Structures are given as structure tokens and as C-alpha cells.
A and B are shown apart, each in its own frame.
Chain A
């Protein structure tokens, strides 16, 4: 446009052209910094904000959830102060304040109130505040928690000598330690930190632990052997005809063994009951804030501390010791207290078994589909199906696992190998093995898809190079293809692990229980018991949150378990990403 006009143009035209140019530049100058409506509208600003708002909402939701879980999970074990509340009617209650809220008191409650608080409530639109206290002392009150409305409270204090006592049974106790008594002699406890009390508590705990070790270990071993003998006799009676010599011999042998084992059992049981008597004779006298006393064995107390009189270091000590108990100990109180060690172990064992199964099968299938099968319509149908199986609901796999693995496969195994235990199922019910196999079936598409993608990403030239050098097909796969595909395969396996570890619904059908009496690995032959049911962190969350007597009491535990599970799964995911990046880097140098 701005190029020189053709010289052949007449003068008048040249003038007109110049005036036009002037007019345009004039308009431009006039409109400098001005915009048109359509121009502003075209940026779609309002829509952009809606899009961005949606993304922001998603991020906020994610962060909010993670923050909620992390914060609640982290503060759960931190020792909180205990408040002693005196009510207007003279009752004294003590407990940890949990949370506050506003509520609308009923008409009859309002009518019974003094005029002063009533007018306060009426000014506030009929709303009043109340606080939830964790009062503990379930054995005395029949409840762990209590709502206290503000208008009932006369005075709140934090006495230094209030103790929080964690017990083996009945949940926590909030109150004071009055005395310790052994052999009927009561010795008052003056100082909550008296070394005598601490020493005797440690002794009592040690004794209790040795009782447990004796009952679980030695008595358990004798019982186990007795059971083995019984099963041996039963097997003999199933295999041999009635009245035969073989059966008589087996009976003879059983009688001898039984007598010997029963004698052993008697000795051990006497020892245990002696220790139990000592345990039950060594008592501690507790009193709640109002002075009601409660006597219990000193050894049944897990931990106690003066909640309002702790230094930071002591608080940290309690905090860490609770985390230690959580990670290493067994659950108590219908899973709402104590540790989750069996659940961690169960989750770990199941995931390990899952990986052992899923990796070879997933990789072999992918190799078959990518390297061996003739690429045609059939293989692409199979590929689509495998892709889709990743989207089939996990509960369907659970149903299959129960019906096929547990009932049919397990039932047949029982018939053939464990007839002496029938009608009690051994493999014919949910268990660790079936749970792992079910989840392996559930996650095998993940591994297949990831491995196939990794195999496809290996350049054709490398394969051809290897083959051209005279390597066989398997040599090529083993030495050229698989190492290069390894990052992708590892990623797939770890993603499968993460998915398997977080799945709960199918496990509810194939072997997860709320409380497993025995771990899948123990000291009895054959040491690994794949048929046993097990505990699982995800199911623990469901169980404690929904099936315990008081979901409020279980909530802190649920948060900590959730934190643990999320941490576990995120750790797996992050390690998958890191591993992928590292292995990728290994091959970057050798790129052609």
C-alpha cells in the first residue's frame, strides 16, 4: 500500500491518493488509544475468567483436601491441654476441648434458663455457642464426648495436676492419679512426676509385656502344635478305614503327644496366671475431676502425662512416642486407638505380592502383543479391550475374586490338600493370596498399557541394527529392547502398585478384615501364610470411620491413617516420576 505509486498515474489520481492517505493517518491519530466495543469483547475476558475460575476451583479443592488431611493428621497426636469446667449447677467436668460451634437451643431449654443468658441468646438470633469436650472416662460416664453450651459454664480452669491417662481398655481417662496400691496397701501419689510412680509403671508395663509375650509366644506355640496333632489324626482317620492298624497307631500317637503337650501347656498357663495375678494386684487409683474414683491395674495404663504442665520437650516426647506406637504397635479399642502396624504390614505384603504377580504377566503380555503377535484386527481389538479393562469398576474384580479365586480355586485346593480342616475353609475363603491376585488382575492392564507404550517408543532402527548384527529375536529383546523400555515398565509397575494400594472395595470381598488375629508371616511352618486374612490401611479408614461405636472417637485415628495412606501412595507416584526421569537420562547419551 505504501509502496510508491505508479508513475503513469495521472496527477489528479495522485492527489486523491495523497489526500486519502492523509485522511487515514488523521483518523489513526484521532483514534490513538481508543478501542472498539467488538475489540474488547473479542478477548472474551468474562469467559476467560470462568475458565480460570474453574481451574482455580480445582486447585483449591485439591489443596484444601490435602491441607485438611495433613493438618488434622499431624496435630492428632499433639498433647492438648485439659480444661476443667465448672457448670452453673455445680457439676465439674474435665476434658480436651475438641471444637466449638453455634447451635439453636430448643424452646424448653431456653425457658429453663436464667434471664441473663437467655436475653444474650435472644439477642444473637436464638443461637448459642457450645464446645465439644473429649471427657474420656467411658467406664464412668458411658460416653467419650460431651457438648457443653456456653450458657451452662460457670468457670473454666486448667489445673496443673490434671492427667491424661491412656489405657488398654475403656479409652482415655481424664482426671488425677490418687494413689497406687499393691497387696492392699495404698500409697498416695503426691507428685505426678514422682520417680516412684514412673518406675513402678515401667515395671508394670514390662510385666504386662512379658505376659503378652508368654501367651502369644510359648502358649501359642503349644496350642499350635496341639492343633497340628489334631489335624494329623483327622487326616489319618479320613485316609484309613475304620478299625485299621494305621488309624489305631495314629490314635495312639495323638494320645501320647496330646498328654505331653497338655502338660506343657499347664506349666505355662500356671506361670501366666501367676503373672496375671501380680498384674491385677498392682493397682492404681484414678479419680475424675469430680472426685469419682476408679481402680485399675497399673500395667493396663499405656501412657500418662499432666497435660497442662508440659514443657515443649515433654510435649514433643509424648507426640513422638504416640507416633511410634501408631506405626509399630497393634490396635486397641476396636481399632480407634493404638497402632496400625498389622495394617501397614498387610498393605505392604499385599502390594509386594501384587507386584510379583503383575510384573511378569504384564510385561509378557505386552511383549506378546507388541513383538510377537501378528498386528491385525484381532490384536487391535485385544488392545482396546485391555485398555478398557482398566476402566472396569474395581468391585467387579472383587466379585470375580470371591467367586472364582476364593470359592472355586480355593475350594478345590481345600478339597485336595486340606481335607482334614473342612468344613473350615483354608484357602476357600478370602485371604492374602486371593486379594493380591484379584488386584493383580485389576492392575495388569495398567502394566500392559505402560509397557506397550514403552516398547513402541524403542526406535525401530535399534531393533533392526541388533538383528542385522546377527542377534536372535530374544537376544534383541533382552539386550536392546527391554533395557530401553525399562523406565516405562517401571513406571507402569509403580502406578499399578499405587492403584492397588489405594483400592479398598474389592478387598472387602476377598480377605480384608477389621482385626486380623495373626500376621501372614510368623514363626510356624511354612512361615508365610498366604491363606490368612489381613488388615489394610484403606479398609482401616472405612472401618474406624464407619463401623466403630463412636465415629467421633475414631476420627483422629482416621485422619492419621489417611495421612499415612496418602503419603504412601504419593511416595510411590513421585518415585515413579523420579525413576522415569533418571532412567530416561541414562539413555540420553546414547541417542543416535
Chain B
């Protein structure tokens, strides 16, 4: 302290009192420090709370579903001529309707302003059938004379600089200008995007003698060499599958299109076909009938198509109003006249009566419309689709999560929509009624696939045999649907934690009790800091050692490793019974360090026994080859079940043995040390034998009941497995559990210990009956803290766990933990995408789990501290 700052004491002899003032600088410094510390402290506390808030804020949009951003109504011209197809471009600029006479009615989507568009020259012919690819770009027009024309209806977008902008543009809205035909949208970077709709059709091809009634069209292959396939149904109810191949003549540059056609087996007479669907590979054709049945043709062989299956999709009496694939062509949506909207998957069903062993299975029953479903428009990304019913209700749905995202409000009075279009990015819907009245909605549907149900419940994904929990966030193809169930990951975390604690808790707690109660303080002063230091060992080191050193060793020595659980306790116990032969004088004299050293020796002998007896164990229990045994190829589960039962039955035998302790003691009376030690040893051996016999009996009983451990806790062996993870992670948590438990045990007041020993209890009795019960809550808190650490451990599971997201308790199989999943996938996740938010949800889940565990541990520890202080 500066001398000047301290107020000088008045001299005792002084009479006058001088008024003293604290210097301003001191006051200011004090005030500044006061505020800095207050603000700083509160800031840090808020910052820490921000973590929780921020994580939640990122996660919330996952569950908000969809919402309407804007809605407006306008009129579209020419609808009375009959609409074929309505489309919207990528950027929600233009909407266009293709009409039966080949003309195109285009309009600016956001304002409804009509735009001019070049019509198709059909020479007065009227389209009788229309088919298009799933993105509605490739179109097929069928005519009354039995001809078809292939073509495209697509938007062209071109980025241009402002100086190339044509003059006299009419302003449509904030973003868009038009010259009456194209729309020019201002885009960032001071540029414009010119959008047009272009419709084009090839020359007619004769397919049938009668009028074409229904058609579906797919284009596969590359842009240079497309394979066009189409299915048609004519007025004579003949279903045809055709393939068109275009060849460019290298010399003349002329395109020649050759069409090959095959006729599919006929449907029974009297059946009215109302829908036809084709797959992109043209390997399957679906023909839906008006009364709700579907004929599925297997057309993998183009020359010999066959009827694979006839299935009923709707209830009797309900008429099929529309049939459509969802993107990826694995889901078929069947819609009926009573509002039914069901999604079917084509799945392998062995034993079914279909020709190819597959069947259409009703996978999702969606909400019913109040009236017949008239129109459907599917999304180009994901399993979203929009449906419109006869009363003018438009619903946005998602098939996998089985829910209605939005029920859109009608623009006016009830009317039936003749055309429905969902924008390619799922961000707008336009519905146009037969009288030209159109309603357009701008939408925001960021994460249609996630609900609490899909994240934590069973979900039936396309191609899966049944609903299940799946995590598979990415794949090679575009039509892939991410499968985002957190259940396998949470399971992986819990599995790793469980096996790690199974190993760590006994070792850490036993070691802590021994350190606090049985070793000399000088040994403790060395051992404890050493173990504490281990807590700061980077987990990446443990992961590396586990995966690259330990895993190969364990793989070569599985039997010996399993032997450890048997041989090491037995060798320690055997050493203990041998030690009891020592006369009291010697055992007291060498009870300190020499005994502890002998424990190391016993442990070493145990390990040697493991190496030596591993082969024998493999021969006796695992039929000579543990890998094949684990695969379930050879041997029976008898031996291994016996091993599993052994601890339980031995414990039971020991309990019975303890009951007989008092009578035995009475009968024996005081004897010489050697005799008593022998009796003790014999008693132990009897317990062991009884345990073994009991285990054999129990195992035989379980065998008789048909139990086999394989497929449950053990199974097929994988190199990076939970055993290795459990060991490495145990290594990481042992120091933590050990340190906290040891602290708790040492904090038990010394007078309790002294009192117990003074009453004649042995060290062991004091430890078990006095110290441990007193410190129990502290010890429990130690286990909880260790558990929290194991749950969040990342690098070890990333490196040593194999990262397979499966639900399997098998200790010899891998796992994928929440934390590892975040570390592996977050660097690749697109910002604010569904996966990104899902990974944030994983982080939030981890945060919540560990926070709860730690809080519980902390509360228990506080209680323990209070209790220990009051003793």
C-alpha cells in the first residue's frame, strides 16, 4: 500500500483535528475498477449464457415447418382452352401454362402481368394427351390421330450487364422489368437476369391408330445422348411403351429420331385406365384404373414386358383421381375422389404373389382432403408436394415426415383449380382455376423434412423395408433424401459411455478407496498427482493409441483380452489367500509398500496367465476360432453364457458362504494361524467351485430356453470396436472419477475413522462400514462427473469407434457418437442448411445431457460437503 494513500493517524498529543480528504485519483480508480469489474463479470456470465441461446436460435427453424410470406390473386388468360401443364421458373419470376391448342399463357408471377410467349405451331390440332418428365421440362403431346410430339418447355436465364439492357422497359416491381416478353430481374453485383419461357416440339411420330388418351414421358442418360422413353394409352386402351433414340448424322448434322414401340399385356376388359406412370429407366410402367387399382408392368425386358402385379391402391368405391411419382421415382402418390392421399413404396416382399417378388406397400397415409384431389405438383428437391382438392383447398405436404406443412387459404370463393405449380425451390405455389382466376403464394419452407417425430421417432424412408431409426446425411445422387434421426447417434454415445464406465468405474473407485484408506501418505503424495496429471492427457493421444496400437493388438488377442476379466481377479484373490498364510508379525511388518509391490506382481502374473491361457479359452469356449464363433458360424453359446453367469453365481455362493461364517467360526474355535488360513482358502475354493457349478447349471437352463449371447452383447467382430473405445475412454475418465472420489473419501472427518479403529474395527471394516457410506454421495458425484466427460468425449470416438451409425449393443461392433458425428460432418455442412441445424441440435442435446449430469453431480457434492462439515 502506498504510504501516501493511507490516512495519517493524528498525533496523540495533537489537539487540533485536521480535516482529511481522500485523493480524487483514489476515488476515481475505485469507481472505475468497480464498474469495470461489475460490467466485465456480468458480460462474461451473459456470454456464457449466450451459448445456450445461440444454439437454440439456430435449432428452432428446424421445427417451424412452413409459412406463407405473401399471397396475391390475379387472372390468367386462355384457361378456357384447357391447361396441360403449369410451370414456374427457379427464381419465381415467370409462371407459364401450356394450353391444349399449343399456345402458352405466361405471366409475371409476382404481379400477374400477362407476358407474350411464342406458341407451338400445331396447325389446328388439339392435344389429347400430355405427359412430362418429373421436372416438367420434357414434354410429350399426344393427338387424336395417334401421333405424338416430343418437346421441351423450359425457362432460359441469361445474366447481362446494365449496358445491354433494352430501352423502354416497363417496371413490374422492385426487382423486375419487362419488355412485354422477357423479364429482366436485377441481381446483386449490378447485373440483370433475363428470363424467358421457350416451348419447342419435334416432328410428329405415329404411334397408334387411335387417339392417344394418356401419356407419360421420361428422359434418361446424358444431355448428349439422351434416352427418351414414353408410355402411352390410346382410345383402344392399348398400353404402349416406346423408346426414341436420336442420332446426329455426322456429315449432314441432321437429327434422326427412331422410335421403337412395344405393346404391354392388355388390361382386363371393362377396366378404364385413368393414369399411366413410367420410370426414368423405363423398367416399370404403372397403369392406374379409375376404380382405384393399379397394374404394374415389369418392362426390364423391352421385348418381353410382363404384368408384375395388380394392386388395389384405394378403398373400394373411391375413384382414382391422380397418380404421380415423387422425385426419385421410389414413392407413388395415389389420390382419390374422396380426398385420400397415400404414398406407396415398391418393396421386396418375399413370398408375395407378384411376378418379381416386389409389391407396392402403403407406407404413408397422409391427411385426407375434404373432397376429391384434383391436381398435384411435386417438388424438384425433396419429398414435398402440393395437392389441390375440388373445393379449392391447396395443401403443401411432405411424404416422409407424413405431415401437411401448410393448408393455404383460398384467394376467393370455392373453386376447382385446373392447374397447380410448385416452384422448383419450394418457395411459391400458383393455382389456376378453370375460369382463369389464379392464386399465388410465396412460401418459406426451409426444413420440411424435420419434425420431432422424424428426429426422434421411427421414420419409413424410401427403399427401406420398414420404419426405422437411420442417420445417413449425404450420398452421391441428387434424388437422395437425407435421413436424419438422432436416435442412432444418441444410442452410440450411450453405448460408448456405458462400456467405458463399466470398465472405468470399478477400477477408479477401487483405486480411490485403496489410495485413501490403505496406502501410506507418502505413497499417496506420489500416486495422486500422477493420476491427476493423466486427466490432462490430450484425448487425441488416447484416440491414436487406441486406434492404431491397441485395436490391432486386441484383434490378434481377443481371447486373451477376454481372459483378463477372469484371470486378473482370480490371480489377485489367490495372492491374497496366499498372503494370509503369513504369520501376523510378518504381515504387519511388510503390510505397506512390499505388499503393494506384491500386488503388482500378482497383476503381472494374471496378465501372463491371460496370454498363456487365451488359446485354451478360445478352444474350450469359442470352438477354436473366436471370430467364426462370434459370427455365429461355429460352436454354441454355452461356454460364453457360463462365463457371463460366473460372476453372478459366484457372488451368490459367496453370500451363502458368508452366512455360514459364524457357525464355521464357532465350530472351529481358535486354531493356529496356518490351520485357519487353510480353512479360509478351502472355503474360498468351495465358493469358486460352487459358483462354477451354478454357472454351468444356469447356462444349461438358459440354453434350454434358447438363449444365445451372440446377436446381443456380442456379435461379429470389427477392428474399431466398442471394447477398444471403452478401454480408451475408460482411460480418459478413470483419473477424473479417481480424483473426485478420493477427495470425497479423504474429506470424511478423521475422528470418525479414529473412533471406528478405536472400537476394534479393522482398516477394511472401517473403510467399508464407516468411510464409504459417509462419502457415498461424493463418490456418486464422481461417477456422474466421469459420465459427463465420457458423453462428450470426441477425439477418441472419432478415431477408434469406426463411426458406423447403427443400433447394436454388440461390444465388438463400432458406433457413431453425437460428438464424433459433429466433428466429422460439420466442416462439410452448408451454413443454415438442414444438416447444419441438425448438427447444432446434436450439440444442444450434448449440452443438455452433460449440463443435467453435471448439475446433479454438483448438487450432490454440495450436499455431501454440507453433511461432512456437520459431522
A residues contacting B by CB (< 8 A) are 31, 33-38, 40-62, 65, 68-69, 101, 242, 360-362, 364-365, 367-369, 371-373, 382, 384-389, 391-400, 402-404, 407, 441, 444-445, 448, 466, 469-475, 477-480, 495, 498-499, 501-505, 508-509, 538-539, 541-542, 545-546, 551, 555, 558, 562, 565-566, 569-570, 573, 577
- B538 contacts A365, CB within 8 Å? no
| Chain B 573-600 interface mask (CB, 8 Å, partner A; 1/0) | 1011101100010000000000110011
B537, B599, B788: the one contacting A569 at CB < 8 Å is B537
Interface centre among B7, B37, B840 (most CB of A within 10 A): B37
Report yes or no: A505 in contact with B734, Cβ–Cβ below 8 A.
no
Name 26 interchain pairs, CB-CB below 8 A, sorted by A: A37-B676, A42-B764, A44-B764, A46-B572, A48-B576, A51-B514, A52-B599, A54-B506, A59-B527, A101-B556, A242-B162, A368-B42, A384-B858, A384-B859, A391-B854, A392-B854, A395-B819, A395-B823, A398-B826, A399-B839, A471-B6, A503-B538, A542-B540, A542-B543, A558-B544, A569-B538
Report how far A466 CA is from B508 CA in the complex, Å.
46
Q: What 1/0 flags go to B31-61 for Cβ under 8 Å of A?
A: 0111011101110110110110011001000
Decide: A479 and B1 in contact? CB cutoff 8 A.
yes
* In the complex, chain B residues whose CB is within 8 Å of the CB of A558: 544, 548
In the complex, are the beta carbons of B661 and A38 less than 8 A apart? yes
**Roughly how many angstroms separate A395 CA and B584 CA in the complex, as a whole number?**
55
B5 engages A475 (CB within 8 Å): yes
Residue from B545, B595, B862 having most chain A Cβ neighbours under 10 A: B545
CB < 8 Å neighbour of A53 from B36, B40, B537, B572: B572
Q: What is B's interface to A at a CB cutoff of 8 Å?
A: 1, 5-7, 22, 26-27, 29-30, 32-34, 36-38, 40-42, 44-45, 47-48, 50-51, 54-55, 58, 162, 190, 506-511, 513-515, 518-519, 527, 529-531, 533-534, 536-545, 547-549, 556, 568-569, 572-573, 575-577, 579-580, 584, 595-596, 599-600, 602-603, 661-662, 664-665, 668-673, 676-677, 679-680, 684, 731, 734, 738, 761-765, 768, 785, 788-789, 791-795, 798-799, 819, 822-823, 826-827, 831, 839-840, 843, 846-847, 850-851, 853-855, 858-859, 862
- From A27, which residue of chain B is reached at the shortest CB distance? B670
A-B pairs, 10 with minimum CB distance: A393-B792, A368-B41, A44-B764, A502-B538, A54-B510, A505-B794, A51-B514, A364-B40, A49-B576, A55-B511
The answer to whether B855 touches A388 (Cβ under 8 A) is: yes
Instruction: Kindly state the separation between the CA atoms of A113 and B507 in the bound complex, as whole angstroms.
Output: 49
* Given known contacts A49-B579, A54-B506, A473-B34, A43 and B670 CB-to-CB distance under 8 angstroms: no
Q: Which residues of B contact A42 (CB under 8 A)?
A: 761-762, 764-765
Residue of A392, A504, A573 touching B540 (CB-CB under 8 A): A504
B5 A65 Cβ-Cβ under 8 A = no
Partner of A35, one of B27, B662, B676: B676
Which one of B41, B576, B858 lies within 8 Å of A369 (CB-CB)? B41
Q: B536 to A472, Cβ gap below 8 A?
A: no
- Which residues from chain A contact B822 at a C-beta distance below 8 Å? 395, 398-399, 509
> Are A389 and B541 in touch, CB under 8 angstroms?
no
Shortest CB distance A329–B (Å): 22
* Residues of B with C-beta under 8 A to A441: 47-48, 51
Smallest distance from the beta carbon of B136 to chain A beta carbons, Å?
A: 32
Please determine whether B507 and A54 come into contact, CB atoms closer than 8 angstroms. Answer: yes
B831: chain A residues at CB < 8 Å are 407
B668 A36 Cβ-Cβ under 8 A: yes
In the assembled complex, the Cα of A185 lies from the Cα of B682 at a distance in Å of: 88
B734 contacts across to A, CB distance below 8 A = 58, 61
Beyond A396-B55, A474-B34, A508-B827, 12 additional pairs, beta carbon < 8 A: A36-B668, A49-B576, A50-B572, A54-B508, A395-B792, A398-B826, A473-B30, A502-B538, A538-B540, A542-B543, A542-B799, A573-B533
Cα of A349 to Cα of B595 in the assembled complex, Å: 48
What is the bound-complex CA distance between A392 and B793, given in angstroms? 10
* B673:A37 contact, CB within 8 angstroms: no
Asked whether A394 and B851 contact (CB < 8 A) given A40-B676, A372-B34, A400-B54, the answer is: no
A53 in contact with B44 (CB, 8 Å): no
Instruction: Note all chain B residues with C-beta closer than 8 A to A51.
Output: 510-511, 513-514, 518
CB proximity of A101 to chain B, nearest CB, Å: 8
Do A38 and B665 contact each other (CB < 8 Å), given the known contacts A45-B580, A49-B575, A399-B826?
yes
- Chain B residues near A479: list those with CB within 8 A: 1
Shortest A123–chain B CB gap in Å is 16
Partner of A31, one of B573, B670, B792: B670
Closest A residue by C-beta to B677: A40
CA distance A288 to B785 in the complex (A): 57
Residue pair A469, B671 in contact (C-beta under 8 Å): no
Is there an interface contact between A52 and B1, defined as CB atoms closer than 8 Å?
no
Question: In the complex, what's the smallest C-beta–C-beta distance from A484 to chain B, in angstroms?
Answer: 13
With a cutoff of 8 Å between Cβ atoms, the chain A residues found around residue B843 in the complex are: 395-396, 399-400
Q: Give the residues in chain A near B788, CB-CB below 8 Å.
A: 391
The 8 Å CB contact of A396, one of B26, B50, B51, is B51
Residues of B within 8 A of A566 (CB): 537-538, 541
Please state if A44 and B765 are interface contacts (CB–CB under 8 Å).
Answer: yes
- A364 B36 Cβ-Cβ under 8 A: yes
- A369 contacts across to B, CB distance below 8 A: 41
Q: With A395-B794, A399-B840, A503-B538 in contact, is A364–B599 under 8 Å at CB?
A: no
- When distances are taken between beta carbons in the complex, the residues of chain A under 8 Å from B514 are 48, 51-52, 54-55
Docked-complex contact B48 and A508, CB < 8 angstroms: no
| B45 engages A65 (CB within 8 Å) | no
**Residue pair B541, A541 in contact (C-beta under 8 Å):** yes
Q: How far is the CB of B158 from chain A (nearest CB, A)?
A: 20
- Whether A392 lies near B851 (C-beta < 8 A) is yes
**Minimum C-beta distance from B816 to chain A (A):** 13
Please name the residue on chain B nearest to A373 by beta carbon: B41
Are B765 and A393 closer than 8 Å at their CB atoms?
Answer: no
Cα–Cα, bound, A479→B34 (Å) = 15
B826 touches A498 (CB 8 A): no
In the bound complex, residues from chain A placing their C-beta under 8 Å from that of B37 are: 364, 367-368, 371-372
CB contact under 8 A between A60 and B41, given known A51-B510, A399-B826: no
Chain A proximity of B615: nearest CB distance (Å): 9
In whole angstroms, what is the CA distance A37 to B660 when docked?
Answer: 12
Cα(A557)–Cα(B252), bound, Å: 64
Q: What residue of chain A has the Cβ atom nearest to residue B517's Cβ?
A: A51
Most-contacted residue by chain B among A34, A50, A389 (CB, 10 A): A50
Bound Cα distance A69, B850 (Å): 31
Q: Which of A56, A445, A473 has the most C-beta atoms of chain B within 10 angstroms of its own C-beta?
A: A56
Q: How far is the CA of A31 from the CA of B671 in the complex (A)?
A: 7
Residue of A404, A474, A570 contacting most chain B CB atoms (<10 Å) = A474
Given contacts A34-B671, A68-B549, contact A364 B44 (CB under 8 A): yes
Question: Distance in Å from the Cβ of B124 to the closest Cβ of chain A?
Answer: 51
User: B544 touches which one: A394, A407, A541 (CB < 8 A)?
Assistant: A541
**Assembly CA distance A403 to B540 (angstroms):** 24
Residue contact A57 to B507, C-beta cutoff 8 Å: yes
Question: A60, A62, A394: which contacts B534 (Cβ < 8 A)?
Answer: A62
Enumerate chain B residues within 8 angstroms of A48, measured Cβ to Cβ: 514, 518, 576, 763-764
- Most chain A CB within a 10 A radius of its CB, from B40, B540, B819: B540
- The interface residues of chain A lying within 8 Å CB-to-CB of B839 are 399
From B33, B58, B595, B853, give the contact of A477 (CB < 8 A).
B33
Residue in A closest to B668 when the chains form the complex, CB atoms: A37
B664 CB, nearest partner CB in chain A, Å: 6
Q: When chains A and B are docked, how far (Å) is the Cα of A364 from the Cα of B785?
A: 27
Residues of B within 8 A of A473 (CB): 30, 33-34
A404: chain B residues at CB < 8 Å are 50, 54
Q: Which residues of B contact A382 (CB under 8 A)?
A: 45
Q: Are A46 and B576 in contact (CB under 8 A)?
A: yes
On whether the beta carbons of A505 and B738 are closer than 8 Å, the reply is no
- Contact call A573/B34, Cβ cutoff below 8 A: no
Indicate if the CB atoms of B673 and A35 lie closer than 8 Å: yes
Q: How far is the CB of A368 from chain B (nearest CB, A)?
A: 2
With both beta carbons as reference points, the residue of chain B lying nearest to A361 in the complex is identified as B44
